[in-house]
Structure 1
Amino acid sequence: MAETAKPKIAVGWEEWIGMPDIGLPAILAKVDTGARTSALHSFAYEEIEIDGQTHIHFGVQPLADDPKLHVWCNAPLVAYREVISSNGMAEMRPFVQVELHLAGQSWPIELSLTNRETMNYRMLLGRTAMEGRIMVDPFGACINGVPEGDFYGHHLAESTTKNLSIGILTCAPNAYSTQRLVEAIEQKGHQVDLVDIARCTLQVDAQNPTLFLRNELLPRYDAVIPRVGTPITQHGLAVVRQFELMGSYVLNGASSIAAARDKLWSYQYLAKAGLDVPSTFSAFHGRDGRAMVRKAGKGPYVLKSRKSERGRGVLFAPDKTMAKSLLDAFDDLDEKLLVQPFLQAEDNADLRIMVLGKKVIAAVRRVAKTGEFRANFHQGGVTQKVKINKQERQMALRAAKALGLRFAGVDLMRTDAGPVVMEVNASPGLEGIESATGLDLSGRVIDYVVEYARPSPPALQDVPQAE
C-alpha cells in the first residue's frame, strides 16, 4: 500500500525551526521563496574526517541578539559551490546536509555556511528545502509557535569571554588609526600583532593554507583587521583572503575590500542597490573616452582613477577640452579614468559617515580648503561634527551593506537633488573624525570585533556532541 503523503506545513515569513542533530534545537529563520538555496550563519569552519567521510566542523551564533553565545556543530560536507549573495557578490561556500525539524516532521536538507552576522536572521530557508513540504503564508509569522525553555543554557556557560589574538594588517604601523586600534586592543586585554602586508608570503594548500611574515610562520589569529593601502591592493587582498581560508574572523573580507577599492565596481553595486550615485562614464579606448565626455554634459567634470583614494587620483576639468586632454594623457600611461559631471555640494562640503555593523557610529562634515574642490581630510579638508537626517543615515547603512562591508566610511554629498553616495572606504581613517567628534571610534571597532569574533575552534574531542 502506498505511503500516504504528509500534509504540507503552513509557515509564515519567519519561523522557528530546529536542527537538534547538530546541536541547534531552535533557530529563527527567514522564509524566502525567492532564494533557491538555504543558508546558515557560521563565523568559522574547518574540514574534519569522521569514519572516513569529510565533515565540516563549524561555529554558529544561533541567536542574533546574543553574539556571545556560540555552538560548535558537525555535519557531512556535500560540496563547495559558488553562491551569488543578495548584494550580487559571488562566494564559494561549503554545503552541508542536516536534518530539519518543523511542526513534528523532519527531513534532510542542504545548507550553505556563510557569515550572516550583519543580517537580521541567522538562517535563511530557501525554496529547495521547502519543496513539496511547506506552504508559505506571506502575512503570517511564527505560525508554528515560539519555543520555550533554556535550550542553549549549557552553551552559555562555555561562552565566557576569552582573550583574543588580533592581527592588524598594515604597511603603516605608525599611522594614527593603526596606533589607536593597537591601544584599544591592549586596553581591553587582548593580544595584538602588527602584520606588515608587504613582507607576507603565503602558501596555498587545500589541506593547510599558511602565511609567513619574514619567513616566520604566522598564527591563525582569532580576528584580523585589514588596513590595506592602494599601492599594495592586489597582494593585500590575497593576504586577507588567505586569513579567511585559515578561518580567522576578518572585519572586512577580501571581496568587499576589492569592490570598495575599484570605483567603477563600487558604483555598479551601489546603483544596483538603488542608491543615488554620480552619473559615471567608463570606456576602454581613448576615442570612446572622448565621446563619453560629450555624454557627461557641458561640464565642468570630475575625472577619477578607478583606484582613487583619500582624494588622490581625482581631477577637476572645467571644460571638455581639458577633460579630453586629461583622458588622452592618462590613456598614454595606460590609466583609464572615469568621467562624471561635476556636482555642486552645499558650502563646498561633503559628509563622512562611519558605519559599523548595522549602526552609524559617527558623522562629520568635511569642508574643502580654499581653492580645493576635494574635502578629504588628507587633502587639507576641515572636519566638523554634524547631525545627519534619517535619509542620510539609511543611505550610509545601505551603501556599506551593498558592498558587504562591516566597517566603512561612506561619503555623501548634499545636492539640490538630494544626497548622493560619492564613495565608500573600506579602511576609513580615524584621526579627523575622532578629533572632530571626541568619540572613541577605535574602541567601538574593537568592541565589535571582540563581540563577533570567536577563539580558535576547540579540538573535536572537546566539542559537545548532540544527544
Structure 2
Amino acid sequence: MTELKIGVVGIPGKWSTEAIADALEARTGFRLVIDMAEVTLDLGSGALIYRGQDLCQLDGLVVKKISEIYNYHALDRLEMLRVAEARGVKIFSRPEAMLRLMDRLACTVTLANAQIPMPPTTITEDESAALAAVTAYCSAVFKPLFSTKARGMCVISAEDEDPAAQIAAFKAENPVMYVQAKRELSGQDLGMAFLGGTYLCTYARVKQDATSWNTTILSGGKYEAFEPDAELIELGRRAQAPFGLTFTTVDVALTDAGPIVFEVSAFGGYRGVRDGCGIDAAARVADHVIAGVAT
C-alpha cells in the first residue's frame, strides 16, 4: 500500500471506470470515482470541487471517461481539469492530449499530417461537395465529429434513391460533414493497444450480424485475439505517437490496398484488451500511473 491519492474521472457504475478504481484502491487504499457533471470550478480560489473534495489536492487523476456521450460540452470538462494539472496534479492522459482526440476532425488532421494511411475523407459544409464525394467514393460513411461506437453514423451510396436528401438530413444534425470512403473490412477491424507509447496487444472486433455495416460491440461485434506482424505494430505506434496518451487503442483495418487507420481513442478500451488479449488493462494502467505519480 502507498499513501497516494489518485482519483478516477469516469462514469460511476460503469465496468471500465470501476475496474481502474478497484485496481488503484488495491494498490493505494484510496478510492474516488468522479462524475464531472458534479464538479465545480472556482477560478477565484483555484479549487476544483467534487462532493467536498478539492481535486487539486490529489496526487493524480486517471481519466477513463469524460462523458457518457461525446459532444462539445465534454471539451469544457477537459478544460476544467487543466486547472488541477496547473496546480501540480498529474493527470493520465493529459487534458491537452485528449482535447486533440475527442473531435474526430482534430484526430484525423493530426493523423494526416503524420502521413498515416487512412480512407479517403472529405470535410465540408457544402451539400453539393458532399454529394460529389459520395459519387467519387461510390459509398461513404458520414460521421458526426463527436461520437463513439458508430453512434450517429450512416452510410450513403451513390446508388441510393435520393442521396442528396440523405445528405441534407445528416447536415441538419451535423453542419460540418465528415465524409469518409466506405472500405470493405472483411467482417473485422482491429484495436491496437498502447500503454505509455509501448505496444501492449491487438484484438479484433469481429462482426456477428451480417446486416450491420460496422463491427462495433454496440452493433453485436465480438472481441477475438489477433497477432499482428511487426510492420502493423509499427503503423499503430506511429499513429498514436503524436498524441502522447497514457493508454489508447488505435483502430486499424486490413484492406486489399493495405492497412488503414480510422482513429486513435482518447481513452482506450479495457474490455477489448481483456476479452480479446486476456490482459488486465486496468491493472497495467494502475501500475503505470502509480509509477508516474511517484516520480
Match of 1:387, as an amino acid? E
Answer with 317-326 or 418-427: which moved more. 317-326
CA distance in 1, matches of 2:292, 2:188: 35
Q: Which residue of 2 aligns with 1:196?
A: 35
2:244 counterpart of 1:404? yes
After TM superposition, give the deviation of residue 219 of structure 1 in Å: 4.3
Answer with 381-390 or 313-322: which moved more. 313-322
Q: Secondary structure at the match of 1:316?
A: strand
Structure 1 residues 399 and 315: CA distance shift in structure 2, 3 A: same
Q: Which residue of 1 aligns with 2:121?
A: 280
Q: How many residues in Structure 1 have an aligned counterpart in Structure 2? A: 289
Q: Which residue of 1 aligns with 2:57?
A: 220
Deviations 1:202-241 (A, max 9, x none): 1225xx5220124654342211111212145123212322
Aligned mate of 2:177, from 327, 334, 337: 337
Looking at both structures, which has the greater relative contact order when contacts are Cα pairs under 8 Å and sequence separation is at least 6? 2
Partners of 1:201 and 1:215 within 8 A in 2: no
Map 1:230-241 → 2, pairs under 5 A: 230-231=70-71, 232-241=73-82
After TM superposition, give the deviation of residue 267 of structure 1 in Å: 1.0
CA distance in 2, matches of 1:246, 1:180: 27
Structure 1 residues 215 and 448: CA distance shift in structure 2, 3 A: closer
2:19 counterpart of 1:184? no
Match of 1:228, as an amino acid? I
Deviations 1:381-428 (A, max 9, x none): 111011011122112122211222221111000011111111111112
Structure 1 residues 335 and 408: CA distance shift in structure 2, 3 A: same
Q: Which residue of 2 aligns with 1:210?
A: 47
Map 1:111-260 → 2, pairs under 5 A: 162-170=2-10, 172-205=11-44, 209-214=46-51, 217-226=54-63, 227-229=65-67, 230-231=70-71, 232-260=73-101
Partners of 2:5 and 2:28 within 8 A in 1: no
CA distance in 2, matches of 1:450, 1:218: 17
Q: Secondary structure at the match of 1:339?
A: strand
| Structure 2 unaligned regions, length at least 5 | none
Deviations 1:89-111 (A, max 9, x none): xxxxxxxxxxxxxxxxxxxxxxx
Partners of 2:7 and 2:61 within 8 A in 1: yes
The structure with more helix, counted as a fraction of residues: 2
Partners of 1:298 and 1:320 within 8 A in 2: no
Match of 2:61, as an amino acid? V
CA distance in 2, matches of 1:408, 1:214: 29
Partners of 1:349 and 1:413 within 8 A in 2: yes
Larger Rg: 1
Match of 1:261, as an amino acid? M
After TM superposition, give the deviation of residue 289 of structure 1 in Å: 3.0
Match of 1:410, as an amino acid? V
Q: Secondary structure at the match of 1:243?
A: helix
Deviations 1:140-197 (A, max 9, x none): xxxxxxxxxxxxxxxxxxxxx9431111112x21111011111211222342211110
Answer with 213-222 or 386-395: which moved more. 213-222
Map 1:8-407 → 2, pairs under 5 A: 162-170=2-10, 172-205=11-44, 209-214=46-51, 217-226=54-63, 227-229=65-67, 230-231=70-71, 232-294=73-135, 297-319=136-158, 321=160, 323-345=163-185, 347-370=186-209, 371-407=211-247
Aligned mate of 2:265, from 409, 421, 425: 425
Q: Which residue of 2 aligns with 1:3?
A: none
Match of 2:130, as an amino acid? G
Structure 1 residues 265 and 318: CA distance shift in structure 2, 3 A: same
Q: Which residue of 2 aligns with 1:158?
A: none
CA distance in 2, matches of 1:166, 1:365: 32
| Structure 1 unaligned regions, length at least 5 | 1-160, 456-467
Partners of 1:166 and 1:225 within 8 A in 2: yes
Q: Which residue of 2 aligns with 1:450?
A: 290
The structure with more strand, counted as a fraction of residues: 1
CA distance in 2, matches of 1:378, 1:218: 33
Partners of 2:251 and 2:264 within 8 A in 1: yes
After TM superposition, give the deviation of residue 312 of structure 1 in Å: 1.2
Structure 1 residues 242 and 323: CA distance shift in structure 2, 3 A: farther
